[in-house]
Amino acid sequence: MTYEKIVLVIIFLGVLLAIQLYLYNRYRNNPQKQASITGLRVLSRLALSKNSQVNVVSTGKETFLIVSSKNAPASIITLTPQTATHGVESRFDASE
């Protein structure tokens, strides 16, 4: 009776391992899944405090500002070339 339980567990683990290998190879070789992720780049990351940070992320021709905090939902703002350069210019004008 104990041999039957051991054999059953070994067969079950073998089936799980076979399923895992099948899914790993299937997703690794799928070029459509990889194409959707390859265009995403983090341009800049700034920690505002211990619990919040700002990220500038680009994908294709669009750039986004993502403000995330530990206890609040993330805010996403689309940056256009005009708004991005305006923020830089106003910072330099204030310092002079």
d(CA 44, CA 87): 15
Whether 11 and 23 map to the same domain: the answer is yes
Whether 69 and 34 map to the same domain: the answer is no
- Domain span at residue 2 reads 1-38
Place of tokens 């204030």: 94
pTM for the whole structure: 0.47
Whether 47 and 27 map to the same domain: the answer is no
Q: What is the mean pLDDT of residues 25-49?
A: 76
Q: What is the mean pLDDT of residues 55-77?
A: 88
Q: What is the mean pLDDT of residues 32-43?
A: 69
Whether 44 and 81 map to the same domain: the answer is yes
Mean pLDDT of the chain: 80
Higher pLDDT, 61 or 33: 61
3-class SS of residue 27: helix
Whether 10 and 46 map to the same domain: the answer is no
Please give the share of the chain, as a percent, with pLDDT higher than 90. Answer: 31
Whether 44 and 80 map to the same domain: the answer is yes
Whether 67 and 88 map to the same domain: the answer is yes
Which helix H or strand E contains 57, and what residues bound it? strand 52-59
Whether 62 and 81 map to the same domain: the answer is yes
> Is the per-residue pLDDT at 42 higher than 70?
yes
pLDDT tens digit sequence for 5-16: 999 999 999 999
pLDDT tens digit sequence for 68-87: 988 888 889 998 776 555 55
Whether 20 and 62 map to the same domain: the answer is no
Domain count within the chain: 2
Whether 24 and 47 map to the same domain: the answer is no
